[in-house]
Amino acid sequence: MLVAGGSVAGGAYAYKWARDELGDDGIIRIWTYDKVALPAICDYKICEFRNEKLPKLLPMLFAEVPEAELTKRYAALHHKWKQPLYDVFMQLGGFYYKSGQKVASNMGGYVPSIYQELFQPFLNDIPARDEASVRAVIEEELGRPMEDVFSSFTWRPIGCASIGQAHRATLRKSGERVVVKVQNPEAERTFKGDVLCLRVLVDIFLPQLSPAFAEIEKQFATEFDYRGECANAQEVRSNLIKAGFSSVVVPAVHAELCSKRLMVMQEIHPSIPLHTALDQQAEKLARSRGISKAAFIEAEKARVEEETRVAARTGRLQRQLSMNTYDRYIRVQRTRRTAWRAWQHTFNGTLGWLVGKYDMSEAADSVIVPINAAKMISDLLYVTGHEVLIDGCFNADPHPGNILYLADTQQLGLIDYGQVKRLTDAQRVGLATSVLLVAAAFSHEPRENPKADPTAHERARASIAAHSIRMGMKTERMLPETLYEMNMTYFGRMDPLWFYPKNLIQWSDAIQKKDALGNLDEIDFLVMVNTASMMIRGLGEMLQQSRNLATAWKPLAEQVLRDAGKLGEVEAEIASWTK
């Protein structure tokens, strides 16, 4: 009775606290989510316990489940829960939209690909708000009628996100094409309850992600004032122009028209969201093979999985096309497309007058001019590395919905600067040191180099662990091997071959059980650095463009350390591994 009474009293207190803090609407939102999410998570955990943990705990009673059968059982759960989870995320909006973007981006392979595919609409196609509510926000923020500022305004949004939506417009004063970003008045109000609900589930079922989730929560809370985003965009744009980057474009901002809930910026034209460009490319490739896009994606996934298994046996990385190979193929395809159009023009201008004109645009359009995936991933990583290490001011949310593709020039448009993180000089130097140590450690890593000297490997591991401790990284047991493993993944490789036969989630679970990540207060900035880099590397994995982050950022890290007068010191430490 006492236990029951205590439970009722505790539940009543928890309900009263939630109602006072979040309101009745917040309680309803939590219940709406939990009644779908909790059974789903329990289903997955039960499957994991029965099929993976019990055979290890009690091998005499429970037989090991073959990998193919285990995959089949998890696939059944994916099919069971993908649509209910998608529906509840889409129904609730708010922070669930942002979480849906993370699923759709699938940085580092944390979610099954079947979820990633279904959740694609969260990147740029969530429900729009009505014209009246959008007009009300704009005119309240401007303090005057919209028509005084815009000579044209397209009410159908070009993109909807977790906090607001974007519309095309034309400035009355200059005639410039702009994008107008308008905040949802309800976004900030629902944020607190949404995050609380998700955080409880993360703490219970994915505790290894709890420290990172706390930092993401803190960073996301800064997005509700577009004046901060305006200043962020101006700073990043200025830095990249100063550095001479020509492969990326950051839109100019009209600061005089920006306010807490309104932002006006240059339109990057003509461009489409990167995820849309990739989707169109997959559609064309599937059509050229006479199959559906779904069948094409499944076939590609199966091919990559088989190549990973082969690579694991042979010790060689999966094949991937180089930047130059892409360029040569792109030139050939553009020539083919131009030839079709020239032939149509020539024929219709001569024989076409006698035998009838032909429309060959379908043939020309069927020629696939691919995105240079190798160049795109390298450019994105290098630009992000420059923002992090050189500028100390970077966008922590570079998911594909925040990247535009300019097909004519093959440039990338970088937008949405609500989640910008700034670093101190000491933090930049610490990061640069980590990058150089990890880059050097791979040559002494047995998984990378079977002939590596064990003594050099042990010294490299000790060196990386010691530097991590100096930076403020903490784990429960402070095991050097744990600190080393984390660094080699977060600053190095995260491709399937590196973890094989595990995936990133299984690796993360194993780390959590062995030596869980501790308090991140001293290194909270690392969470957003890792989030940004893993998003881009995750996109690279999807496009079969694996990257070692330490290799990509090494020249930038050397520049930082050289400017700080510490490059010789770090190089001497690396050299000591082989003495």
Q: Is the pLDDT of residue 391 over 70?
A: yes
Confidence of residue 486 (pLDDT cuts 50, 70, 90): very high
Question: Residue 315 in contact with residue 450, Cβ under 8 Å?
Answer: yes
What is the distance between the alpha carbons of residues 405 and 129, in angstroms, rounded to a whole number? 26
What is the distance between the alpha carbons of residues 287 and 139, in angstroms, rounded to a whole number? 46
Confidence (pLDDT) at 357: 61
Window from 269-273, 512-516, 529-533 with minimum mean pLDDT: 512-516
Confidence (pLDDT) at 221: 67
Compute CA 160 distance to the chain's CA centroid, rounded to the nearest angstrom.
Answer: 17
Domain ranges of the chain: 18-92, 131-272, 322-370, 373-578
Distances (CA, A) of 101 to 98, 150, 206, 535: 5, 31, 19, 11
Q: Is the pLDDT of residue 475 over 50?
A: yes
Window from 208-222, 248-262, 432-446, 486-500 with minimum mean pLDDT: 208-222
Q: Is the pLDDT of residue 12 over 50?
A: no
Q: Is the pLDDT of residue 7 over 60?
A: no
Confidence (pLDDT) at 224: 84
Average pLDDT over residues 307-330: 77
Confidence of residue 413 (pLDDT cuts 50, 70, 90): very high
Burial call 492-531: b when 16+ CB within 10 Å, e when fewer: bbbbbbbbeeeebbebbbebbeebbbeebeebbbbbbbbb
What is the distance between the alpha carbons of residues 467 and 429, in angstroms, rounded to a whole number? 12
Q: How many CB atoms lie within 10 A of CB 80?
A: 13
Question: Residue 254 in contact with residue 170, Cβ under 8 Å?
Answer: no
Mean pLDDT of the chain: 85
Question: Residue 351 in contact with residue 264, Cβ under 8 Å?
Answer: no
**pTM confidence score:** 0.82
- Write out the two tokens for 432: 């640069």
pLDDT digits (tens, 9 = 90+) for 280-300: 898 888 888 889 888 888 888
Question: Residue 102 in contact with residue 219, Cβ under 8 Å?
Answer: no
Q: Which DSSP state fits 49?
A: I
What is the distance between the alpha carbons of residues 131 and 123, in angstroms, rounded to a whole number? 22
Confidence (pLDDT) at 366: 73
What is the distance between the alpha carbons of residues 318 and 542, in angstroms, rounded to a whole number? 13
What is the distance between the alpha carbons of residues 540 and 547, in angstroms, rounded to a whole number? 7
Q: Which of left, alpha, beta for 24 (phi over 0: left; psi -120 to 50: alpha)?
A: alpha
Question: Residue 180 in contact with residue 169, Cβ under 8 Å?
Answer: yes
pLDDT digits (tens, 9 = 90+) for 176-232: 999 999 998 877 777 766 777 777 667 666 666 666 667 666 766 677 889 999 999
Q: Which residue has the higher pLDDT, 53 or 391?
A: 391
Q: How many CB atoms lie within 10 A of CB 357?
A: 12
What is the distance between the alpha carbons of residues 570 and 424, in angstroms, rounded to a whole number? 19
Confidence (pLDDT) at 132: 95
Residues in the chain: 579
Distances (CA, A) of 280 to 53, 272, 275, 291, 418: 42, 11, 9, 14, 28
pLDDT digits (tens, 9 = 90+) for 63-115: 888 878 888 998 899 999 999 999 998 888 877 887 888 788 765 556 777 88
What is the distance between the alpha carbons of residues 69 and 67, in angstroms, rounded to a whole number? 5
Q: Residue 441's closest CA among 491, 404, 394?
A: 491
Partnered with residue 152 across adjacent β-strands are 170
